[in-house]
Amino acid sequence: NAGVMQNPRHLVRRRGQEARLRCSPMKGHSHVYWYRQLPEEGLKFMVYLQKENIIDESGMPKERFSAEFPKEGPSILRIQQVVRGDSAAYFCASSPTLLTEGAFFGQGTRLTVV
C-alpha cells in the first residue's frame, strides 16, 4: 500500500506563472487535506476535500488558489499568477475516516517562485 504520493517534489515557477501540485491519497482514503508550511512557520490548514466536493476551504487564500479532487485522478492544488510569497512547502494528507485513524502525509512539494 503506497503512501500519499505528491508530485512534483520540487517546482520552480517565475512570478505570474501557474503552479499545479498533485496529490494521490493512500488507497482506500477518501479524505484529502492540503497544508502549507512557510519558512520558519508551522503547518497551516488550507483545504479539505472529498471526492468531487470541497468540504472546508477556510484556510485558502481568497484569490489565485483553488483545489479539486475529481472522481478519477489525483487531487490538484492550483496557484495562479504565483508571487514570491507563495514560496513554501505544500503538503497533502489523506485519511480513511473522520480522523479516527489519523492523517497520513505525503513528502510535500517545495514551490520556489523566482
Binding site for another protein (CB under 8 A): 6, 31, 33, 35, 41-45, 48, 55-56, 58-59, 91, 93, 98-108, 110
* Nearer CB in complex with another protein: 13/36: 36
Give the end-to-end CA distance of the chain in Å, rounded to a whole number: 36
Nearer to another protein, 13 or 31 (CB): 31
36, 50 contact by CB (below 8 A): no
Q: How far is the CB of 106 from another protein (least distance, A)?
A: 6
The C-alpha atoms of residue 92 and residue 47 are separated, in whole angstroms, by 10
Cα distances (Å, whole numbers) of residue 100 to 51, 94, 95: 19, 12, 8
d(CA 52, CA 46): 17
Name the residue nearer to another protein (CB basis): 44 or 78: 44
Cα–Cα distance measured from residue 104 to residue 30, given in angstroms and rounded to the nearest whole number = 12
Q: How far is the CB of 103 from another protein (least distance, A)?
A: 6
CB-nearer residue toward another protein: 18 or 113 = 113
CB of 71 to another protein, least distance (A): 20
Residue keyed to cell 504520493? 5
To the nearest whole angstrom, how small is the minimum distance from the Cβ of residue 105 to another protein? 4
